[in-house]
Amino acid sequence: MDIIFQWGLDFIVMIQQIDTPLLDSFFRAITSLGDELFYLLLFSFLLWCVDFYLGIRVGIIFLLSVYVNNGIKEIFQQPRPFEILPEIQKVQASGYGFPSGHAQSSLVVWGSIAYWKKQIWIRNLSVLLILLIGFSRIYLGVHFPTDILGGWLFGGLILGLSYFIFLKFKLDFIRGNMIFKIIGITLLPVILLQIQSSPDIISSVAALTGIGYGLLLSFLVYFN
């Protein structure tokens, strides 16, 4: 593991040799496109302005990915590169490093959008953003290259599973009995927190629950 960390640090130091204030600002802007706040704004836009069902799908996949990512981080408990070499840090970051949440989230979100919105320009933009967001985390010194690869790997697995679930059930559950939906959204966080619990996981489960109740209100408006 020390060999992998050293290789990762050497790679980060190498790419930071070309850093400039302009590049720093560019990659800080790029990495902000992988922040949770940006995704919540994106989901709202998709939900109300583009495609209601697409917004639901992408939002659910993203929140489940955040929960899984935090759980995996708790298992591996890998450090971030700046914890070993502080001078390479260019932005704030907290928590464990592997797998990268930004890399995983960008793949599940933009991968989902690219799959369901089949225009070529959307697919090209999605691939570009996935690559740039991942690279920005390395450039800014907050993730090892292996963190990014791990994020893409787990993101791909979640994306594949999500395709199967949504293609099989086709969101028919949203027209089901409202009482059952309320019970399901209420019990889900209890079950998830019984599986694993930490401050980051509690935060992601709380967000998942809040979005769930928000979607219930959306269903009432959309279908009535």
Catalytic residue among 62, 143, 158, 166: 143
Q: Is 179 exposed, middle or buried (0-12, 13-18, 19+ CB in 10 A)?
A: exposed
Q: For residue 67, what is the enclosing H or E element?
A: helix 52-76
Phi, psi of 90 (to 5 degrees): -115, -15
Catalytic residue among 73, 80, 102, 137: 102
Structure tokens at 39: 């995704």
- Is 25 labeled as catalytic in the residue annotation? no
> Which of 65, 100, 62, 68 has the alpha carbon at shortest distance from 81?
100
E strands within 102-196? none
Instruction: Say how far apart CA 83 and CA 23 lie, in whole Å.
Output: 23
Instruction: Say how far apart CA 116 and CA 158 lie, in whole Å.
Output: 16
Structure tokens at 175: 């027209």
> Which of 122, 109, 112, 126 has the alpha carbon at shortest distance from 39?
109
- Is 102 labeled as catalytic in the residue annotation? yes
Structure tokens at 98: 């592997």
Whether the bond between 145 and the residue before it is cis, its omega within 30 degrees of 0, is: no
Give me the active site residues, please. 102, 143
